[in-house]
Structure 1
Amino acid sequence: MNQKIPLSWLQLTREKTRLAVALAGISFADILMFMQLGFRDALYYSNVRFHNSLQGDIVLINSQSSAVLAMRSFSQRRLYKALELPAVQSVHPIYLDFTIWKNPITGRPRSILIFGMNPETNIVNLPGVQENLDKLKLPDVVLFDRSSRIEYGPIAANFSQGKTVTAEVRRRRIKVEGLFTLGASFGADGNLITSDINFLRIFSNRQKGLIDIGLIRLKPGADAQVVAQELRQYLPKEVNVLTKQEFIDFERNYWANSTAIGFIFTLGTVMGFIVGTVIVYQILYTEVADHLAEYATLKAIGYTQNYLLTVILQEALLLAILGYFPGIVFALFMYQSARDATLLPVFMSFDRAVMVLILTMLMCIISGAIAVRKLRSADPADIF
């Protein structure tokens, strides 16, 4: 039995050049949306990788802190006071600050983020930290983030070759004794981990007794939400008490709502949607206008207005699907290029792929719904 070819497909493929232009326009809009959403998600993910790695249940920070980029110190006595609650198992102070790293090859300075913590207990789930903790007990020893940008020098490569790697940090000579993996972010191009004692040696002007993050581990079975609420009532208001997830959301919300960059990526996605809508509308409107006589003929022989509307909407959906696939393929190549150039976690996710597909279909349906208004002027009386 012969299968009937849908009229919508025949209409689209009749003008091959017009179809190619339409698909190119839709693919371009998809690529734009993919890149903007990819960079936005990389922004969020890269800036909370450290937060996700924390092996604890509750986090204390200064109530005036807004993000890792803008941390305010607070007295470690607030952290140790939490031990008075029966549900608290242990507490762990964390120091962090930005300083200047001098490339040991070129001597060029570059800002780097340093974390200081007690090497007796591993409190971060990051590759390379656990096996190198004992090395941090030595003076002026650090672990270098192998995923830092190349501008810091060939540190990871030289260390992996067995070479002695030293550098100058804050006018102090330090030695790299191990590598770990955290990754660059929009806030920091590179990272170091050292002991709390070495951290205070590097930042010799820092007031003793002040920390940046307080990590709290609870006893098995304790409810983090309940204990966090108890701590909020127990500790002074100068300390912000957050569960681990709230700490992650705290950082994410800063980049999403308190910086221009999060808004810019979202705006770029909206602009891609608008551009695609306009392109598809122009294609469909031209297609309807060029075949107005044929549509009027179909009306004259008994086809209803709703049938013709269905044909146009089918064309819109076909354009969406056909234009989506080259868009996602090209976006994958763009993601790889961006990842290699920036070392940021720009990856394709299933949720994002589905979201852009839905946006593409919605974009084309809206365009088709606007373009079908032209069909109202397809009056058989004007043709015959």
Structure 2
Amino acid sequence: MIQALWRRRGVPLAWLLLSRQPVRLLIALAGISFAGILMFMQLGFRDGLFDASVTIHRLFDADLVLMSPRSMSSISMAGFPERRLIQTMAEPAVESVSPVHWNFVLWRNPETRSTRSLLALGFEPDDALFVDSMLADQSASLRQKGRVLFDARSRPEFGPVAERFNAGQVVESEVAGQRVRVSGLVELGPSFGADGNLITSRETFRSLLPSTSRGSIELGLIRLRDGADPEAVAERLRAWLPNDVSVFTKKAFIEFEKNYWRSSTAIGFIFSLGAAMGFVVGCVIVYQILYGDVSDHLPEYATLMAMGYPLRDLLAVVVREGLMLALVGYVPAYAAGEGLYALIRGSTQLPVGMSPQRAVLVFSLILVMCMGSALVAMRKLADADPAEIF
């Protein structure tokens, strides 16, 4: 049986044609890998931008969110009357609410004395701000005016705040010209809109930004009773609340922020265009390799056609060449993508990582790139006339 299978084995013609010229094969694989790496990086930056823009949004302990209709994104938040949040308590499904201030302030580096903008959140220390328990043991310290929680994952330009605090030192600095003391650390991470984050009480927040109206807030977090449908409750609140406030479910609140970066800025388009350019570059490289291979072996193909081999079998050889190039070229692109993602995370603290969806997408694009180039290159073989070649 083994001998019968051995006699029936197929000749790996596609691989023999590719490996006959190792230099050309390496160039083709390098081109495919380069195109794959470019697509991985561009799509990774794009998705990382969207994920980083909603890092804090995801952490909020809320089922519904109130926001001013004049707010465009996290970098352009407008205030709305706090009484609108209090009015939502009339809805039987609402269990509790939390007013939140959201604005950017200038932080002075305690070491270099330079200033840099970071995002400040103000809330009532007794309220549940995040679903994570990171604030549970530290929020009590914010009841004292002038105390803040600093984001340990903020960019290093803000100074060695986390290092000094963990070393047991008293860390003080200036925010908006006011003296503050770091009473704890949280881990949120920077985004494209904010390089660092600061959490404090509403009292301290208003002292840092005295222009903030006492009757105005930027966000209203609403927690519902168990079993309540957020969509249905949101619809009821929209029906009777004035139009000076917008009601979002938490999922819609996250999508609202992502949509701003996706459609209202050129950043998402630029990264998508970069991925498309990588795809085009790969197509050109693979087409040139396969076209050159077909041209170099036209006499051999013509001989096989004269011997009675159908054209579809010869075309299948070129298709298998494209498939092999896609499979072999994808592996180094994936490995390089993982390494570069790790480098970016370590350097920028941005949530850039390999996701299964992106890995499948890039492989699919590389496969389409190679197979499409093979189909175009096969036109020369389909037009070949054995009599003219000889």
Q: 1:117: which partner in 2?
A: 123
Q: 2:243: which partner in 1?
A: 237
The one of 318, 321, 325 equivalent to 1:319 is 325
Distance 1:165 1:128 in 2: 20
Query: Is 1:205 matched with 2:223?
Result: no
Q: Does structure 2 retain, via aligned residues, the 8 Å contact 1:293–1:378?
A: no
The one of 310, 316, 320 equivalent to 1:310 is 316
One-letter amino acid of the counterpart of residue 173, structure 2: A
- What secondary structure sits across from 1:128 in the alignment? helix
Q: 2:34: which partner in 1?
A: 28
Percent identity of paired positions between Structure 1 and Structure 2: 49
Q: Does structure 2 retain, via aligned residues, the 8 Å contact 1:126–1:182?
A: no
Q: 1:105: which partner in 2?
A: 111
Q: 1:170: which partner in 2?
A: 176
| Offset at residue 5 of structure 1 (A) | 3.6
Q: Does structure 1 retain, via aligned residues, the 8 Å contact 2:85–2:220?
A: yes
With structure 2 as the length reference, what TM-score do the two structures score? 0.97
One-letter amino acid of the counterpart of residue 166, structure 1: E
Query: Is 1:161 matched with 2:171?
Result: no
| Offset at residue 127 of structure 1 (A) | 5.8
Q: 1:179: which partner in 2?
A: 185
Query: Is 1:218 matched with 2:216?
Result: no
The one of 9, 13, 20 equivalent to 1:14 is 20
| Offset at residue 129 of structure 1 (A) | 1.7
Distance 1:167 1:297 in 2: 82
Distance 1:383 1:231 in 2: 78
- What secondary structure sits across from 2:168 in the alignment? coil
Distance 2:136 2:202 in 1: 16
Distance 1:97 1:192 in 2: 10
- What secondary structure sits across from 1:175 in the alignment? strand
Q: 1:338: which partner in 2?
A: 344
One-letter amino acid of the counterpart of residue 96, structure 1: W
| Offset at residue 354 of structure 1 (A) | 1.2
The one of 368, 374, 378 equivalent to 1:362 is 368
Q: 1:93: which partner in 2?
A: 99
- What secondary structure sits across from 1:131 in the alignment? coil
Distance 2:291 2:133 in 1: 56
Q: Does structure 2 retain, via aligned residues, the 8 Å contact 1:126–1:181?
A: no
| Offset at residue 337 of structure 1 (A) | 1.6
Number of residues paired by the alignment? 384
Distance 1:312 1:187 in 2: 48
1:150-182 CA distance string (max 9 Å, x none): 000000011001010001100001000100011
| Offset at residue 6 of structure 1 (A) | 1.5
| Offset at residue 383 of structure 1 (A) | 3.3
Q: Structure 1 runs of 4+ off > 4 angstroms?
A: none
User: Structure 1: 5+ residue runs without aligned partners?
Assistant: none
One-letter amino acid of the counterpart of residue 163, structure 1: Q
Q: Does structure 1 retain, via aligned residues, the 8 Å contact 2:98–2:220?
A: yes
Q: Does structure 2 retain, via aligned residues, the 8 Å contact 1:119–1:133?
A: yes
One-letter amino acid of the counterpart of residue 322, structure 1: V
Q: Does structure 2 retain, via aligned residues, the 8 Å contact 1:295–1:308?
A: yes
User: Structure 2: 5+ residue runs without aligned partners?
Assistant: none
- What secondary structure sits across from 1:104 in the alignment? coil
Q: 1:377: which partner in 2?
A: 383
One-letter amino acid of the counterpart of residue 352, structure 2: V
- What secondary structure sits across from 2:137 in the alignment? helix
Distance 1:330 1:205 in 2: 49
